[in-house]
Structure 1
Amino acid sequence: MRLSFAPLCLALVLAGCQHDAVRADAPAADAPVSAPAPTATVPADDNLNAVLWMQTSVEYRANSLQTYRAATAQLDRALKDKTWDALDPVERSNPARGLPPAVIFDVDETVLDNSPYQARLTQAGGEFNEAEWAAWVNERKATAIPGVLEFAKAAQARGIALFFISNRAVDLKDATIANLRGVGLNVKDDAFLGLGTVVQDCDQDGSDKNCRRQLIGRKYRVLMQFGDQLGDFVQIAPNTPDNRGTIYNAHQDWFGQRWWVLANPTYGSWEPALFDNNYRQPRDARRAAKREALRLAH
């Protein structure tokens, strides 16, 4: 709202002001005033709103809390049904019936909140790199995702083993376990399976988690899986939008039953699927491909 000054200036408020006449074309006192044109253009950051949503919105905390509460309510049903198994059949090489129960978690943005690391990248205008990521992990300051502690306690009270399959490198195991324990989780030393874990009789492709899931499935009936990306539940090959849609359609009945997805708008395999999984492209080229994927109508 723009205010007009009277012809007489208040000397105590503003010394030396001139008695300018009000212009005939000046807007009325309560007329809307356009924002001034920016003096500089600030580059858009793809992650600004995403990181702020995770760090400041109650909606994000509520979404995580309701996910873990709903999963807790399904535990007894999953235990009682001896045919219940959360591993895709293509990733199970042995019958699950009769095996002790377990739950598999992804770590980042599923159990631990790393949004401060994402905030640092956003503030600096940088992108993910291994050295800075390892430094963050070794700070051991990630906090627990809302609801996960209560779920984990409920599961362990029922004799369910907890496993954590992460694409954190195996040499970050000690720091990761220390962080998990630091937020209140009762984690066994062999419960963390990081990137680089050797699995006999299974060929792992890059960062895919299928071999590590199979390793757990050899000794356990997996009741539930938790993750923030589709690849936390089943192997995606190839990682294309169409194939991701096919996998989603084939497993719709498992979401909210055996598979539980935590919200993470800051990163994920959904993003490189939009630019042919080619991070060697310049950043502007990747952003252009993402803009091309926008739908302006249903």
Structure 2
Amino acid sequence: MSKFTLKRWAITALLGVTMFGSAHTAMAQGNATVAPTTPLIGNEGLTATAWVQSSAEAKIAARQAYRMATRQLDVALKDKNWSAALEQGPSFKKLPPAIILDLDETVLDNSPLFARMARDNVTYTDEGWLKWTAEGNATAIEGAVKFLNYANNKGVKIYYISNRASEEEAVTRANLQKLGCPIQGPEDHVLLKGEQNWTSNKSPRRSFVAQNHRILLLVGDDLNDFVSARSLSIAQRRELFDKYADNWGERWVLISNPLYGSWEDSIYGFKSDLSPQEMLRLKYGVLQYREPTAPIANTTPANR
């Protein structure tokens, strides 16, 4: 999970409101309506959270992504020349098949945490994140559990590569098992940041898996789940999209995540010390406006 971009939950300066620094009450259990514990205010993440949690479109997008992954898994299993990892070595045809997935907002849905933050008018903190993961209350992204069990039943090795910290592994495993996500063994299949000196760059972990497996699919919610895009500008990220255009929807499956991600880091130039006002200014700076023009000619509907 990219925690850098979660600073945007504090951006309220231009809305004329103040955000408080600590939560007031715990999230209600089950599907109870989230009632604010402080006066209602604007929140940059509120619309994204509402979309993830309430829209049919969010479920549709995730479900169709995992249905695509299921179809492509079968194609990849039959084609021994197939690999999804740029880190794959030359002699992989006889290696056992594996898939690699990110966790947060790919398999695990953390939107209840974001709803809690919006309700309580609080900003993101590392301490708050660790408390959340310790609860083990992340839900499953639509379609994820079904796909994972399908792959497991096909004999495909499943590796989770996440930037959760290594000290979160026990609670992460417990959360996955609670949801019915397969965790294979005996070797470690949950590869987190901080293990074996791994940094937030996921490429070395993909290389680690690719040494002994043919990688069939990559599934994630961030460009870095597929190719290293650390510190790249918006333009450079789009160049990567174009460069690997044939992989999207075939070997690489993206899960939509409007809550946070390196896409937002790139808007800020990967600077972590910006003020809320400066972060908002940079966001407005990437908007592509169209000034009003005269109506397009000949707008009278044709006779039918």
Q: Does the pair score TM above 0.5?
A: yes
Kept in 2, the 8 Å contact 1:237–1:243? The answer is no
Kept in 2, the 8 Å contact 1:197–1:212? The answer is no
User: 1:82-121: per-residue Cα shift (whole Å, max 9, x none)?
Assistant: 1111101xx2345322110001010000001000111122
1:286 aligned partner: 279
1:74 aligned partner: 72
Q: How many residues align?
A: 252
Higher relative CO (Cα under 8 Å, sequence separation at least 6) belongs to: 2
Q: Which stretch shifts more, 266-275 or 93-102? A: 93-102
Matching of residues 71-150 of structure 1 within 5 Å: 71-88=69-86, 91-150=87-146
Identity across aligned pairs (percent)? 35
Matching of residues 1-298 of structure 1 within 5 Å: 44-88=42-86, 91-188=87-184, 190-198=188-196, 206-297=199-290
Q: CA deviation at 1:188?
A: 2.6
Q: CA deviation at 1:72?
A: 0.7
User: 1:203-245: per-residue Cα shift (whole Å, max 9, x none)?
Assistant: x6x4111111110011111100110000011111432101100
Kept in 1, the 8 Å contact 2:201–2:230? The answer is no
Gaps of 5+ in 1: 1-39
Equivalent residue of 1:198, what SS? helix
Q: CA deviation at 1:167?
A: 0.5
2:99 maps to amino acid: V
Q: 2 CA distance for matches of 1:260 and 1:243?
A: 20
Q: 2 CA distance for matches of 1:274 and 1:215?
A: 31
Kept in 1, the 8 Å contact 2:137–2:175? The answer is yes
Give TM-score, length-normalised by structure 2. 0.79
Q: 1 CA distance for matches of 2:52 and 2:203?
A: 28
Q: 1 CA distance for matches of 2:205 and 2:276?
A: 32
Q: 2 CA distance for matches of 1:136 and 1:43?
A: 23
1:294 maps to amino acid: L
Q: 2 CA distance for matches of 1:287 and 1:124?
A: 22
Gaps of 5+ in 2: 1-15, 18-39, 292-304
Equivalent residue of 1:141, what SS? coil
Give TM-score, length-normalised by structure 1. 0.81
Kept in 1, the 8 Å contact 2:99–2:217? The answer is yes
Give the aligned CA root-mean-square deviation in angstroms: 1.7
Q: CA deviation at 1:177?
A: 0.5
Q: 2 CA distance for matches of 1:44 and 1:294?
A: 20
2:48 maps to amino acid: A
Kept in 1, the 8 Å contact 2:65–2:255? The answer is yes
Q: 1 CA distance for matches of 2:123 and 2:130?
A: 14
2:11 aligned partner: none
